[in-house]
Amino acid sequence: MNKAILSSDEIPRQWYNLAADLPTPMQPPLGPDGNPVSPEMLAPIFPMALIEQEVSPKQWIDIPEGILDILLKWRPTSLHRAFAFEKELGTPARIYYKNESLSPPGSHKPNTAVAQAWYNKQAGTKRLTTETGAGQWGSALAFACAQLGLECKVYMVRISFEQKPYRKIMMKAWGADCIASPSTETKAGRDILDKSPDTPGSLGIAISEAVEAAVTDESGSTKYSLGSVLNHVMLHQTIIGLETKKQLALFDEKTPDVVIGCAGGGSNFAGLAFPFVHDKINGADIEIIPTEPASCPSLTQGPFVYDLGDASGMTPLLPMYSLGHGFVPPPIHAGGLRYHGMAPLVSAAAVEGLVTPRAIHQLECFEAAVTFARTEGIIVAPETSHAVAGVVQEAKRAKEEGKEKVIVFNLSGHGLMDLKGYEAYFAGELQDYSLPKEIIEENLKEIADFPKPAVAKTGRW
């Protein structure tokens, strides 16, 4: 058997909330005055149902039927045994991958885009705004809004808008309005354009524009949507790991030895890993590894701090590993992993030692991705290549140790819209970037005066 398929009626009907199980409670987001942010303060931006999920202490949260109906268009996704890849690596490990590239936009992101659009629709929202870098999140939200009859406005970082036409066209096909950021439509955009008319734009600027567009619509029917980092996004993604558990059982596997996902803001990693983190908290022996780019190593080199979620101070302070909100990562091809911080829930699990992060250079990632493409056939996204490279490292370790380990990873998306990265790799144009300690220290100076989170851990892991 090389793949496990679940029927529609086997789709999980609840999401798993790790916040309920962490041995040390989550620390709250803080406002600019250093006091915890109240749910009411978030109400102009998000519908109440999502705010409730953001702070929920419940371990399991029901998935509404209306959301399941849409997810069932491509879920449950298949779990594959990577026989050919194992053979090529000569490893005694059994390698499995969860194929999240099967959604219409081609990644895990619609799992939360659909849920967010649905709760917004219920709350009477007519229009969602968001930012996008390379366009993966923008296209996922455009798809979800089309499914639910919502308008969708995407502020796309200008340099990507000009250089990456295809995801922009996908958004258009799904009926979304995608414009280059900074734009003249918002005050935030106009201010930047006045100062630097030739700016390539940044995610920080695009977030500012999208949030401004939501809060300044006085009818209250425009809200904002974020594709990663926040607790409710992690929650929606756990359907990945919950399906995976059922599918491993179909392969007669029990607890895996190693679970791997790439981590940008943390959502696809969390989606696969958190149901296994639950098992680990309850005594299972699993190594759970988020892999990140060596050029943007928030988990492996950033401190655990309170920092802003965006570059310009529109978001509350979040307790997370961060390289500083002013950090501009080198231009690696895994655009979705170029984020200065890490989801608070993933960060909290890392503080506890429940997950053990690892940084990997991009050449090693592309090499692993090419081996995977030539054996398993799927050309993975440059982001996903960081998970594949982590798997290669663990498969080699299993070989050295002579152990039949079970390794599971999240194939977060396909790379068919990101072939430029592969082209540059084949042309020998890519290089590895290491980050000098001084650059990190320089960026962290900016947040030196922010409140400090407690670094509390039980020491059990």
CB nearer ligand PLP, residue 420 or residue 460: 420
Stretch that binds ligand PLP, among 169-177, 185-193, 267-275, 438-446 (CB under 6 A): 267-275
Q: Rounded to 10 degrees, what is the CA torsion of 177, 183, 189, 191?
A: -160
DSSP state of 45: T
Stretch that binds ligand PLP, among 9-17, 68-76, 377-385, 425-433 (CB under 6 A): 377-385
Query: Among residues 111, 120, 139, 228, which is the contact residue for ligand PLP, using CB under 6 A?
Result: 228
Shortest CB 384 distance to ligand PLP, Å: 5
CB nearer ligand PLP, residue 137 or residue 398: 137
Stretch that binds ligand PLP, among 147-155, 298-306, 381-389, 445-453 (CB under 6 A): 381-389
Shortest CB 378 distance to ligand PLP, Å: 12
Stretch that binds ligand PLP, among 91-99, 266-274, 356-364, 431-439 (CB under 6 A): 266-274
SS3 (DSSP) at 61? strand
The DSSP result for 246-296, as a single string, is: HHHHHTT--S-SEEEEE-SSSHHHHHHHHHHHHHHHTT---EEEEEEETTS
Residue 232 engages ligand PLP in binding (rule: CB under 6 A)? no
CA 295 – CA 284 distance, rounded (Å): 32
Residue 336 engages ligand PLP in binding (rule: CB under 6 A)? yes
Task: Show the binding pattern over residues 183-202: x = contacts ligand PLP (CB under 6 A), - = does not.
Answer: --------------------
Residue 338 engages ligand PLP in binding (rule: CB under 6 A)? no
Shortest CB 197 distance to ligand PLP, Å: 29
Contact 343, 320 (CB under 8 A): yes
Residue 264 engages ligand PLP in binding (rule: CB under 6 A)? yes
Shortest CB 221 distance to ligand PLP, Å: 27
CB nearer ligand PLP, residue 130 or residue 228: 228
Shortest CB 211 distance to ligand PLP, Å: 19
Within 76-115, the residues that bind ligand PLP by CB under 6 A are 107, 109
Contact 134, 144 (CB under 8 A): no
Task: Show the binding pattern over residues 208-227: x = contacts ligand PLP (CB under 6 A), - = does not.
Answer: --------------------
CA dist 323 → 132, 262, 274, 315, 339 (Å): 20, 17, 24, 16, 9
Query: Among residues 262, 294, 311, 351, which is the contact residue for ligand PLP, using CB under 6 A?
Result: 262
Three-state SS letters, 416-428: CCCHHHHHHHHCC
Contact 264, 226 (CB under 8 A): no
Tokens found for residue 45: 């931006």
Task: Show the binding pattern over residues 383-422: x = contacts ligand PLP (CB under 6 A), - = does not.
Answer: xx---------------------------xx---------
Task: Report the amino acid identity of residue 160.
Answer: S
Query: Among residues 381, 407, 417, 430, which is the contact residue for ligand PLP, using CB under 6 A?
Result: 381
249-273: b (≥16 Cβ within 10 Å) or e:
eebebeebbbbbbbbbbbbbbbbbb
Q: What angle do CA 384, 340, 299 make, to 5 degrees?
A: 70
State the Rg of the chain over Cα: 21
Shortest CB 386 distance to ligand PLP, Å: 8
Instruction: Give the DSSP H or E segment for 141.
Output: helix 136-148
Binding residues (CB under 6 A) for ligand PLP: these are 107, 109, 136, 228, 262-269, 336-337, 381, 383-384, 412-413
